[in-house]
Amino acid sequence: MRTLWLIPALLLLGACPSKKKQPQGDLTPPGPKGPHLASPLNIFARPAFAYAAKGPKEVSLSDVAERTVKSVVNISSTRVVKRPHGLSPYHGNPFFERFFNRPSPPREQRARSLGSGVIVSKDGVVLTNNHVVEHADEILVTLSDNTQLKAKMVGTDPKSDLAVLRLEGDLSKLLPLPLGDSAKLRLGEVVLAIGNPFGVGQTVTMGIVSALGRADMGIVDYEDFIQTDAAINPGNSGGALVSLRGELIGINTAILSRTGGYQGIGFAIPTAMARPIMDSLLEHGKVLRGWLGVVIQNLTPEIAKAMKLPVSQGVLVADVQPDSPASKAGLERGDVITALDGKPMHAVSKLRNQIATAGSGTKVKLQVLREGKSREVELALGVLPGDQIAHLGPQQGVLGGLTVEPLGDEVRRRMRLPRRTTGVVVTEVKPGSAADTAGLRDGDLILEINRQTVKDAYQFSTVYKAAKDPVLLLVFREGTTMYLLLEK
């Protein structure tokens, strides 16, 4: 069983592992003059280097580490927590409780959290994780030279786990870290993780980019993580993931671990996502995400086959909200979004992140497949009014154990449906049946079967019985619609 940890802010002391001499080995293929022996640290053709952000001069790994560590800060946040008093000594005695066991005001305790942050501007802007400073009453930032400064909260975004602070006091010593372009990262690229693990002080670890675009991890609402094997531990939250050019490419956020400590899988929020969120918080005090106005789900090969589509991957539009940018641009239910601004879209999470990150007012081009024909749709994104882009996971199963009834006026009123709406209402789903496995529920309204409008229960039954291929249903539930693929 895997466990995801938002890197907690805590201080632990443990025994240091014993140092062992690294074995020698043949790490390069034999050349014309025979094998080249090298230690595991000598894996480069020459000593590790990075190109500086300015000029062609080669800079050693140590130079990059020593320069960038000065831009990473330690963050100590304090908040007041109210805790109830313990039980009265008279608890349980009705006579004495009447007189002595009266409620008393809760005790106030100060909870302290430790984490990291990154200076990104000369005027004192610090980027960190929301969970490092969430609900903080006081925030104290310690620079690499042990100078302590107070900080104020500019804004937070729990949906991405980012927060922006502004330092107060003498800012003349600040050394901001330039923001790099995380979109240019490649698998296997060497990166540095800088932070304050376990509260021991500034620490630099090295690893590679293990994966890009990690989503659906269940950590936050918007996920597009960089995965790295650079050692990340509790206290590293909000610290910097740095490229060999000495640029910030990510904010260290979470680890995948069974123990709560480093096990080789860490996640960082890429700057491609962090930068627009930070800019929006600085300008507006909140995040203005882009809004398309659709309900979407992943297109599976089974649904694609049922819809007779020439593609097996993409994002299926299950519903289009009235007066939304998608509606005004002519998007329709059943459309398949295959690309955004020329970039392939194979998953809901990727499209959702790209739309949100683009921001309101941004013009985008969607490649849409409708009835087997591809077309391009251009539109300007709106402002996301809450969580209007729903994520519906794929639903599979077979139909059986299902009872439906005609859609009556009473149900129309209860579900606030127009009188012209037709369909059948699911009144019973037997536990353990194929319909139950498919995800159908009592109260679902079936609007379509195999792309045909459902008029009544008889027509629904006739079409279902005549169908030879898997049956595609359009179901209305709790204000939205979704497609369910049901094999007979």
Q: Show which residues are catalytic.
A: 131, 161, 237
Q: What is the dihedral of CA 227, 231, 235, 241, to 10 degrees?
A: -50
- The Cα–Cα gap between 136 and 191 comes to 31
CB 270, CB 226: distance < 8 Å: yes
Per-residue HEC secondary structure of the chain comes to CCCEEECCCCCCCCCCCCCCCCCCEECCCCECCECCEECCCCCCCCCCEEECCCCCCEEEHHHHHHHHHHHEEEEEEEEEEEECCCCCCCCCCHHHHHHHCCCCCCEEEEEEEEEEEEECCCCCEEEECHHHHCCCCEEEEECCCCCEEEEEEEEEECCCCEEEEEECCCCCCCCCCCECCHHHCCCCCEEEEEECHHHCCCEEEEEEEEEEEECCCCCCCCCCEEEECCCCCCCCCCCEEEECCCCEEEEEEEEECCCCCCCCCEEEEEHHHHHHHHHHHHHHCCCCCEECCEEEEECCHHHHHHCCCCCCCCEEEEEECCCCHHHHCCCCCCCEEEEECCEECCCHHHHHHHHHHHCCCCEEEEEEEECCEEEEEEEECEECCCCCCEEECCCEEECCCEEEEECCHHHHHHHCCCCCCCCEEEEEECCCCHHHHHCCCCCCEEEEECCEECCCHHHHHHHHHHCCCCEEEEEEECCEEEEEEEEC
Rounded distance, CA 203 to CA 372, Å? 55
Look-up of token digits 């709560």: 260
Q: Which residues contact 167 (CB under 8 A, 6 or more apart)?
A: 119, 124, 125, 126, 141, 149, 150, 151, 174
Instruction: Return all residues near 32 (Cβ < 8 A) that are at least 6 apart.
Output: none
